[in-house]
Amino acid sequence: MNLRTMTLKQLYKLLKDVENAIQAAKSRELELAKKKLEKEAQKLGYSLSELLDSPPSKETAQRALRKSVAPKYQNPANHDETWTGRGRKPLWGQAALNAGKSLQDLEIS
């Protein structure tokens, strides 16, 4: 696959396919990790929920108090993908900027 010869439309489709594949891989790995942890908990004579039902730490409690930020930008090709404007730009946002769009073009109206 030569990315330099692909059209913009093909690149956006590839980007979407890669993002979907990443999400699917994360889900599979998370499920596998949960199963491993459940087995380890059973070896110790507990259920995983028993081990995880401990009182939250101070840091966890502070994180829960933080307000979530509403998304400010939206992928024009996939409206389910949004970004708050904080942290790293998502791949779709950087691709749009590289294609000549501005952040104002990506704002949610």
Question: Tens digit of pLDDT for each residue in 39-59?
Answer: 998 998 888 888 887 666 677
Residues 26 and 51 grouped into a single domain: yes
Q: Are 102 and 89 in contact (CB under 8 A)?
A: no
* Phi then psi dihedrals of residue 89, to 5 deg: -70, 140
Indicate the SS3 state at residue 43: helix
What whole-number distance in Å separates Cα of residue 95 and Cα of residue 18? 14
- Pick from 11, 14, 10, 12: nearest CA to 22: 14
pTM of the full structure: 0.42
Please tell me the predicted confidence (pLDDT) of residue 47. Answer: 85
Per the structure, the complete domain to which residue 101 belongs is given by: 66-109
- Please say which residue of 27, 55, 83 terminates a domain: 55
Residues 106 and 72 grouped into a single domain: yes
| Per-residue pLDDT tens over the stretch 50-84 | 888 766 667 766 776 777 889 999 999 999 999 99
